[in-house]
Structure 1
């Protein structure tokens, strides 16, 4: 998981931040949006994309 997160961070640092805040810190979309100064809808979209990417990477490993 750590390697996959590093790869994601290299590809899209904001998506990696969203994953860390959501998965490890437990923040809600509204809270993440406030921290990153983006809308909750953007957080939802980025989270969905990042989660799919991580799922694909982890299943290939």
Structure 2
């Protein structure tokens, strides 16, 4: 995903969130349905995020 990195997830409550570092170093707080580059966040789990790219399938980012 060209330098997109998962920094953490917040899964308690009704609206899970993910902290992601985009290429170039910008950190964003994203939720379900948000667009990140050319991907859409379709799931946020404890320690992982699943992103979907139209025509390209799904990709899982996990904490190291």
TM-score calculated relative to the size of structure 2: 0.30
Q: Which has the higher helix share?
A: 1
Larger RCO of the pair (alpha carbons < 8 Å, separation 6+): 1
